[in-house]
């Protein structure tokens, strides 16, 4: 169809909507044969498919057997998602329809796409950089509205533009150093002062550091905060899970040992995505299932960003509470006295005195004041949510979502490396090395930034990123 020489020979095809019953299903084709293949299988004999115009027809098998009534749209290269000729077919979504359409195109020579292959072609054809590629997965997987916003800003190119600019600024300093080297060889005296270049590098480093400061919040925004609820049996862990989720997720009974397994569910707290985990009450297990449950509970607690250590305030402390206390991590735990709607025996005022009755050497008593809550009435849950957020961020949330730039660990690693290399460059220059070695070190910093947007990349990195895509994307 087009004059353009395509990098990829194959025309690929895939179901791009969820496979199952729905009003509409989408099948996508990409590659130089897309237009021809679509024309061949449309029952109405259109002379041509104009780009970005919807055509309605029945779609038939290569033998002319009806498959479905469809709408078809053609996107001409390079003005398409992949940068190649593409066709999208909107059919009725049913297993037989989708499979038959896929079958018809493969029999005409199209190949079933690999996971992420459409996006990979878009990347290789220069339609988007690596940050934008990754943002597509983040958009699809976004666990909260705030996470989605951050992903969309990356899709739009906000981070990529910054990275390009930082990189260009570094390259500028490199060319100045290289010019100085040439002047030096020609023994000319026009060498610009080193101080100026150091100042430029410092400014770039500060900009990178500022971006890096948003990483902590950004990573939680993208990946979610892991919160687990610990406590001896029957203190109200499952009730608290349900209250935080605002739905009846876990079974609650008055029998100790109700929860056997680890139950994790997604929720949102103050706009941040969280993964709340209810665990089996930690105690000497009565049977093998409970024993495994307790093991899993301990593992979940170890791997959490924040642990809610729950007590039953209607009872005094006992050995079982102490056993749980010993397994929660110091510094990451919030103490909460549940069932405050009942007559409170255990209170914020007496809990530390109560603790003295036990051997509590291994318990972190340096924590802040316990909270008083009721999973039943909802009392104190707002404060608990506030406490979770301030615990994770060690105080206030410093960066509102609009100012969060870094959300992805891969980008963060590159940024950290770049900062380190720039600092090394500054040190070299301070020590009187405005020379080839310095230029080399700083160039490496520029390359680290190039790695973020994929100007420089390896097969392994690409494989790692694209393997996270589903077929059809």
Ligand X SMILES: Nc1nc2c(ncn2[C@@H]2O[C@H](COP(=O)(O)OP(=O)(O)OP(=O)(O)O)[C@@H](O)[C@H]2O)c(=O)[nH]1
**Site residues (CB under 6 A) for ligand X, limited to 270-289:** 281
| Cα 421 from Cα 444, distance rounded (Å) | 7
Strands 225-230 and 263-269: unpaired
Q: For residues 243-262, which are near ligand X according to CB under 6 A?
A: 252-254, 256-259
Q: Whole-number minimum distance, CB 278 to Mg ion, in Å? A: 6
Nearer to ligand X, 145 or 251 (CB): 251
300's enclosing H/E stretch is: helix 288-302
User: To which residue do tokens 């909460």 refer?
Assistant: 336
In whole angstroms, how far apart are CA 73 and each of 44, 343, 438?
Answer: 14, 68, 54
Among 68, 67, 87, 69, smallest CA distance to 77 is for 87
Q: Is 381 near ligand X (CB under 6 A)?
A: no
Residue from 25, 233, 425, 451 that binds ligand X (CB under 6 A)?
233
Q: Tell the smallest beta-carbon distance from residue 265 to ligand X (Å).
A: 14
Cα–Cα distance for residue pair 3/6, rounded to 1 Å = 9
Q: Given the structure tokens 């008083």, which residue do they identify?
A: 372
As a whole number of angstroms, the longest Cα–Cα distance in the chain is 89
Q: Does 239 bind ligand X (CB under 6 A)?
A: yes
* Only segment of 164-172, 210-218, 333-341, 434-442 that touches ligand X (CB under 6 A): 333-341
Tokens of 353: 């005195």
Residue 367 burial by CB count (10 A; 0-12/13-18/19+): exposed, middle or buried? middle
Binding mask 335-374 for ligand X (x = CB under 6 A): ---xx-xx-------------------------------x
**Beta carbons of 172 and 188 less than 8 angstroms apart:** no
Closer CB to Mg ion, 113 or 301, in the complex = 301
Return the range that interacts with ligand X (CB under 6 A); candidates 90-98, 99-107, 153-161, 235-243.
235-243
Residue nearest to Mg ion (CB): 259
Does residue 154 interact with Mg ion by CB under 5 A? no
Taking CA atoms, 299 is separated from 111, 141, 267, 278, 296, in Å, by 44, 25, 21, 12, 5
Q: Which residue is listed with tokens 């960003």?
A: 305
234 binds ligand X (CB under 6 A): yes
The distance of closest approach from Cβ of residue 228 to ligand X in the complex, given in angstroms and rounded to an integer, is: 12
Closer Cβ to ligand X, 316 or 457, answer by number: 316
Binding mask 223-262 for Mg ion (x = CB under 5 A): --------------xx-------------------xx---
DSSP-derived secondary structure letter, 281: P
Q: Which positions lie near Mg ion, rule CB under 5 A?
A: 237-238, 258-259
List interacting residues with ligand X (CB under 6 A): 231, 233-239, 252-254, 256-259, 281, 338-339, 341-342, 374-376
């Amino acid at each position: 169809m087009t004059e353009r020489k395509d990098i990829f020979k194959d025309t690929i095809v895939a179901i791009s909507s969820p496979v199952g019953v729905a009003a509409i299903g989408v099948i996508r084709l990409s590659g130089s044969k897309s237009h021809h293949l679509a024309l061949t299988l449309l029952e109405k004999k259109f002379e041509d498919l104009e780009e970005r115009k919807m055509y309605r027809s029945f779609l038939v098998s290569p033998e002319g057997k009806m498959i479905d009534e469809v709408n078809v749209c053609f996107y001409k290269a390079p003005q398409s998602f992949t940068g190649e000729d593409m066709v999208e077919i909107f059919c009725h979504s049913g297993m037989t329809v989708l499979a038959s359409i896929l079958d018809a195109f493969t029999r005409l020579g199209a190949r079933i796409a690999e996971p992420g292959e459409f996006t990979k072609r878009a990347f290789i054809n220069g339609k988007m950089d690596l940050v934008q590629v990754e943002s597509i997965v983040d958009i699809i997987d976004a666990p909260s509205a705030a996470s989605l916003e951050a992903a969309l800003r990356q899709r739009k190119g906000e981070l990529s533009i910054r990275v390009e600019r930082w990189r260009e600024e570094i390259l500028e300093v490199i060319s100045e150093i290289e010019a100085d080297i040439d002047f030096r060889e020609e023994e000319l005296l026009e060498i610009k002062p080193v101080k100026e270049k150091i100042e430029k590098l410092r400014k770039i480093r500060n900009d990178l550091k500022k971006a890096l400061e948003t990483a902590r919040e950004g990573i939680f925004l993208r990946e979610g905060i892991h919160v687990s609820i610990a406590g001896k049996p029957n203190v109200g862990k499952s009730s608290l899970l349900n209250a935080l989720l605002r739905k009846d997720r876990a079974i609650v009974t008055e029998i100790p040992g109700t929860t056997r397994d680890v139950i994790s569910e997604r929720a949102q707290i103050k706009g941040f995505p969280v993964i709340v985990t209810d665990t089996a009450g930690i105690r000497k297990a009565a049977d093998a299932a409970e024993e495994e449950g307790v093991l899993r509970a301990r593992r979940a607690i170890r791997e959490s960003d924040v642990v809610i250590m729950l007590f039953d305030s209607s009872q005094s402390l006992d050995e079982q509470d102490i056993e749980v206390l010993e397994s929660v991590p110091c510094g990451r735990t919030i103490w909460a006295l549940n069932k405050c709607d009942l007559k409170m025996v255990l209170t914020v005022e007496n809990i530390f005195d109560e603790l003295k009755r036990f051997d509590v050497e291994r318990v972190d008593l340096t924590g802040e004041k316990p909270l008083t809550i009721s999973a039943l009435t909802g009392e104190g849950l707002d404060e608990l949510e506030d406490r979770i957020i301030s615990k994770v961020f060690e105080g206030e949330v410093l960066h509102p979502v609009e100012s969060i730039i870094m959300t992805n660990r891969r980008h963060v690693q590159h940024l950290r490396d770049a900062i380190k290399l720039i600092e090394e460059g500054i040190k070299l220059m301070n020590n009187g090395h405005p020379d080839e070695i310095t230029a080399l070190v700083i160039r490496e910093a520029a390359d680290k930034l190039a790695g973020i947007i994929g100007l420089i990349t390896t097969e392994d990195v690409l494989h790692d990123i694209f393997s996270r895509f589903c077929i059809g994307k």
